Structure 1
Amino acid sequence: MVRSFTLLCLLVLALPSFALTELTASVDKNPVLQGEYFVLSIGADDTVQGSQPDTAALLKDFIVGPTSVSSQTSIINGSVTRKTVWKTELMSRKSGVFQIPAFELNDIKSQPFKLEVKAREAQSSNNKDIFIKTSLTPNTLYVQQAGVYNVKLYLAKDLSEGSLTTPELENAQISQLGKQVESNEIIEGKRYLVVSRDYLVQPQKSGEFTIEAPAFNGRIRQNYRSIAVSAVGEDTQLTVKPIVDNYQGNWLPSELVTLHEEFQPDNMSVEVGTPITRTITLTAVGITKEQLPEIKLTKLDGIKSYPDQAENKNVVRDGRIISQRIESFALLPQKPGNYTLPEVKIPWFNTVVNKVEFATLPAKQITVTGSALTTQAPIVSNTTTNSDNQAQTSSDSATPTIITQVEPVSLWITVLGYALWVMTLITLIIFRVRNKNKVLINKEEKPQDKTKMNIKDALSNLKIAEKQSDLKDFNQALNTFSKIKCNCEQATSSHLINLYQNDELTAQVHNLQKSLYSQGAGNVDLNKIISLLQQPVKAKRGAKQTLETLY
């Protein structure tokens, strides 16, 4: 047995080497249907490694799928045959007669030939087991305006495998929005599995364009057999309008742009040193979150402003993309007075009425009063008796007044008070340095006290939103509470659920999100959520509470 195998190997090695002499090209069917995949085979009469025919010319008229290669060597009656075959899946979006070009490999060329693609009949749901529907909202766009292109694949048979291509548009950015959604739909008595995908379409050039619809290629199970199927959607004609002349500012083509602001506390009269949180929300329809401009506030003498990191997000509603930019500013009054926060104005182009408009926030008035530590009663004459002083002090406590002119004695008292305060501060600093090791050991106690204070404020915001039955404000306050409770700036309500491990809290938060983001209204008890959040977190002994990976 071994001797026979050895002789066979020697015989094969002794055979003369072959060279490529012929290259052929063929398809598995001709004619083919529009939107139907077929297989192009290119064969060589020799074993070829490290190279393959160039099929780039096919991209002009066809969708080119993956290419597979196989090699075969056979010996029949002492005759050796070698062959290499490349197979490529192709599909034509249009009907007509097309030229399959000649392919070349090692100076050997194949013969070109004609391929006929017949038009597919109009797709109808009553006689098709598989078809594609597409839509674009809105159907007319401006340059850089964001449209939502929806693709729905309808399948009446069980799918074993398949692939769906992406839409194509010249001079445009196209990206998929989120994950595909699967549902069931009954059309004229036939049940279909519906696979829906949303794509963000942003044209970068004006003119008339065609969105080439996606194509599907796969296999379905029918009568215990696997059958190849394919489908293609109808192309969409798109008119892209140019940017209007003499437009000033960031180009924002939209159907609606709004500005909204909130103050915490909402009282427009505060004392010196009391921080005010100003939250401004910019909302736009048909604009991506990356296009929303930065909100800049005018600097005011006497009030310092500390901006927080902006939050950008977007969602698809009713076939339109809605984007938001949320920016928070900490305003810290430095001295008493009446201040005017200037109006905030952002230009945008209204694509409905085709004109420039402005999203504005009106100017706001803020009154800053002197704090209790700096407000002093007026100083009377030295000849005033003690009884007069007591009467004057009693009168001042009933009706406080702000000193506009300070007597020399009062000035010295103020200077002395500040000196004592500075000395006390220096003493505390020296004490902290000397007890550095002790502070390091107990370093977790300080942030905990601060966290408790912040949690108290967050719970207060939750109660305010609950009294107003404002689900949106309550959800925003809940996210703020999550960041403080989880000690992470990126934490959300989902991490809060993981932290508490409370089934009732989980159900109530899910009902809140359902009421906000889905068509069905969830039965949510806001007061119950607040009550559950005030309960202690029951962590497992020896286990560390960590957040899930944020994306």
Structure 2
Amino acid sequence: MVMRFIGGLLLLALSQFSFAADGLTASVDKNPVLVGEYFTLTIEATGKVGGETPDTQELAKIFNVGPMSTSSRTSIINGSISSSTTWQMQVLARRAGEFTIPAFSVSGMTSEPITLNVIPRDQDDGTQNDVFVKVALQDGPLYVQQAALYTVKLYVGKELLDGQLTAPELADTQFTLLGKQKEEYEIVDGRRYFVVTREYLMQPNKSGQFTIDGPIFNGQVREGYRRLAISAVGESVALDVKPIPENFPGAWLPSELVHLGEEWKPTEDTVTVGTPITRTLTLTATGVTQEQLPEISVPQIDGFRTYPDDSERKQISRDGRIISQMVSSIALLPQKLGTFTLPELKVAWFNTKMGKTQYASVPARSITVIADPNAPKAPTLPEVQKTEPETPQIDTIPQQASLPTTMIQAEKSWQDWLLLVSGYVLWVLTLGWFLFKKPTPASAKVTSSTVTQSDPMVELNAAAKQGDTKRYYQALMSLTSKLGAATLSDWASKQNDASLSHEIANLQATLYSSNNQQVDLSTLHKLVCATLKQHANKGKVNGNSLETLY
């Protein structure tokens, strides 16, 4: 009840005051102004505005308009209440001439338009030599998505305290700052300038006729003991952007020059089976970004396993041009013997200078895969010829006549008896030596075959135990070669075991692919041992034992 009474008294007191008249005014702090020089536009409203703000869309069509700041105040003087709202913004004119700042309306109130005089820089009293901006863009028309280098250089002839340089802007065009700005000093017309250089990568996304407005600089320099405000604006650049041709094949690649090259390791056209080949493709183009370079499609070749590597991309700016490069490496693992032809590779691109489609290519290449001459040859068993047993002709053997035998006993001399006794004594001594000789341990006996020949199964078991994939792969190739297989893949395919073929493919991918492929040596070794035991059992049945492999 008390609060209502106090509120009523306050309303009654406020009703005794009168409000000031409402109105809307607009003003500038400079007139005339220089081209590229910022000035402050102030719009002030007296009275209640209900949260409304002035519409600056028409103003932005003529000038560059900065962000708007708002402030409000209320005062009571001699019983009269006055309230006001003020909007301020920084405005810049890019071109010389006489311009009209349009009228603004807020809450039914309207301001008067302002006539503004913009003076060219060459009519200034020489202060334009203190600071200026230069821009550069490559000559000739651009095509949609073609990359161009837009360079901005700011020259300041006095000690720079602070400043702001805007980025170029254009509708439906992307500007990307390349790296960091460069700061250096240059001598221009005998005067030393502090120079700031920025490079922008520009890519238009729409065809048509455009104008790139130059960047704007606004800052402060030191002159003696004073701080002076300075500003400058770059020249506008006309831009003609052409559309993408309708009949272009493949991914759009506009450029002045495209080159596709390749390198081989080893360089020879004849390789042994199972030896990896590294093929490196390099695609270089000007006037496009590294992301625009298309992936090169390499077809699969029968008789080879293909393991592509991740592509490496990079780009640089040189002599006002963007140069991009992509390097792709592919590992080829020959699996079969014979001669194979790798087809030609082509990349379509559009020559922006000649205005037509061209192709960057590498020619086809033939590779001959031979057996490893150092691999041990498989043992060959002699062929058993089946012949009919010969039956002796008993009836044709002549019967010999029996001859009479006569026993004649010769008389022994003393020399004969001496020789007989000596031989008997020598026989007794030899028998005693053998009886009392210490036995030689069986482990000390080493045959020449165990020294010169190594058991491939022992090497395979050792590699599996150590988890050495490379050693295991070499031992497995040597083992299958002893079994008579031309290549490891041929041996695996003849086993009709999908799991074994899959694990061998994983082993090869682990060694020659960059896709972080992993192989389980324990599982692979179990499959190999099971397959070899099956062969051993078949060999015993057929009379061809493989027990020497275990």
Partner AA of 1:298 in structure 2: P
Whether the 8 Å CA contact 1:125–1:187 is kept in 2: the answer is no
Aligned to 2:368: 367
Whether the 8 Å CA contact 2:50–2:107 is kept in 1: the answer is no
**1:351-410 alpha-carbon deviations (Å, 9 max, x no partner):** 333333221112222222234668546665447xxxxxxxxxxxxxxxxxxxxxxxxx96
| 1:312–1:46 CA distance, 2 compared to 1 (3 A) | farther
Provide the C-alpha distance between the structure 2 equivalents of 1:44 and 1:227, rounded to a whole number of angstroms: 32
TM-fit CA distance, 1:136: 0.5
Q: Secondary structure at the match of 2:357?
A: strand
Whether the 8 Å CA contact 1:126–1:187 is kept in 2: the answer is no
TM-fit CA distance, 1:317: 0.9
Aligned to 2:61: 60
Partner AA of 1:177 in structure 2: L
Aligned to 1:444: none
Aligned to 2:178: 177
1:271-350 alignment to 2 at 5 Å? 271-350=272-351
| 1:49–1:323 CA distance, 2 compared to 1 (3 A) | farther
Whether the 8 Å CA contact 2:19–2:81 is kept in 1: the answer is no
Provide the C-alpha distance between the structure 1 equivalents of 2:263 and 2:144, rounded to a whole number of angstroms: 33
Structure 2 alignment gaps of length 5 or more: 1-9, 386-482, 504-509, 517-550
Partner AA of 2:204 in structure 1: P
Output the aligned Cα RMSD.
4.0
| 1:85–1:327 CA distance, 2 compared to 1 (3 A) | same
| 1:262–1:379 CA distance, 2 compared to 1 (3 A) | farther
Aligned to 1:105: 106
Aligned to 1:189: 190
**1:104-155 alpha-carbon deviations (Å, 9 max, x no partner):** 2222222223222233328999960100001102343223221111010101
Bigger CA drift: 210-219 or 121-130? Answer: 121-130
Provide the C-alpha distance between the structure 1 equivalents of 2:284 and 2:225, rounded to a whole number of angstroms: 53
Provide the C-alpha distance between the structure 2 equivalents of 1:281 and 1:122, rounded to a whole number of angstroms: 55
| 1:20–1:79 CA distance, 2 compared to 1 (3 A) | closer
Aligned to 2:83: 82
Provide the C-alpha distance between the structure 2 equivalents of 1:42 and 1:85, rounded to a whole number of angstroms: 6
Structure 1 alignment gaps of length 5 or more: 1-9, 384-408, 430-450, 455-479, 485-551
Provide the C-alpha distance between the structure 1 equivalents of 2:284 and 2:156, rounded to a whole number of angstroms: 37
Provide the C-alpha distance between the structure 1 equivalents of 2:217 and 2:89, rounded to a whole number of angstroms: 16
Q: Secondary structure at the match of 1:121?
A: helix
Whether the 8 Å CA contact 1:138–1:147 is kept in 2: the answer is no
Aligned to 2:263: 262
Aligned to 1:202: 203
TM-fit CA distance, 1:64: 0.8
Whether the 8 Å CA contact 2:18–2:79 is kept in 1: the answer is no
Provide the C-alpha distance between the structure 1 equivalents of 2:367 and 2:74, rounded to a whole number of angstroms: 89
Bigger CA drift: 25-34 or 204-213? Answer: 204-213
Aligned to 1:534: none
| 1:361–1:377 CA distance, 2 compared to 1 (3 A) | farther
Provide the C-alpha distance between the structure 2 equivalents of 1:17 and 1:218, rounded to a whole number of angstroms: 46
Provide the C-alpha distance between the structure 2 equivalents of 1:135 and 1:224, rounded to a whole number of angstroms: 36
Q: Secondary structure at the match of 1:66?
A: coil
TM-fit CA distance, 1:301: 0.9
TM-fit CA distance, 1:322: 0.6
Which TM-score applies when normalising by structure 1? Answer: 0.63
**Is 1:91–2:92 an aligned residue pair?**
yes
Provide the C-alpha distance between the structure 1 equivalents of 2:123 and 2:30, rounded to a whole number of angstroms: 22
Bigger CA drift: 207-216 or 311-320? Answer: 207-216
Aligned to 1:358: 359
1:528-539 alignment to 2 at 5 Å? none
Bigger CA drift: 342-351 or 48-57? Answer: 48-57
Q: Secondary structure at the match of 1:179?
A: coil
Aligned to 1:227: 228
TM-fit CA distance, 1:261: 1.8
Aligned to 1:147: 148
**Is 1:71–2:72 an aligned residue pair?**
yes
**Is 1:128–2:143 an aligned residue pair?**
no
TM-fit CA distance, 1:48: 5.9
Aligned to 2:251: 250
TM-fit CA distance, 1:314: 1.3
1:490-509 alignment to 2 at 5 Å? none
Identical pairs, percent: 50
Whether the 8 Å CA contact 2:181–2:198 is kept in 1: the answer is yes
Provide the C-alpha distance between the structure 2 equivalents of 1:146 and 1:233, rounded to a whole number of angstroms: 21
Provide the C-alpha distance between the structure 1 equivalents of 2:192 and 2:369, rounded to a whole number of angstroms: 67
Whether the 8 Å CA contact 1:47–1:71 is kept in 2: the answer is no
Whether the 8 Å CA contact 1:126–1:188 is kept in 2: the answer is no
Aligned to 2:45: 44
Provide the C-alpha distance between the structure 2 equivalents of 1:181 and 1:257, rounded to a whole number of angstroms: 29
Q: Secondary structure at the match of 1:57?
A: helix
Provide the C-alpha distance between the structure 1 equivalents of 2:25 and 2:258, rounded to a whole number of angstroms: 61
Provide the C-alpha distance between the structure 2 equivalents of 1:140 and 1:232, rounded to a whole number of angstroms: 24
**1:482-507 alpha-carbon deviations (Å, 9 max, x no partner):** xx9xxxxxxxxxxxxxxxxxxxxxxx
Whether the 8 Å CA contact 2:19–2:80 is kept in 1: the answer is no
Q: Which has the larger radius of gyration?
A: 2
Provide the C-alpha distance between the structure 2 equivalents of 1:12 and 1:319, rounded to a whole number of angstroms: 76
TM-fit CA distance, 1:61: 0.7
**1:55-104 alpha-carbon deviations (Å, 9 max, x no partner):** 12211111111222223344555554433211100111122222222222
Bigger CA drift: 169-178 or 323-332? Answer: 169-178
Aligned pair count?
400
Q: Secondary structure at the match of 1:227?
A: strand
| 1:47–1:418 CA distance, 2 compared to 1 (3 A) | closer
| 1:375–1:149 CA distance, 2 compared to 1 (3 A) | farther
Partner AA of 2:98 in structure 1: V
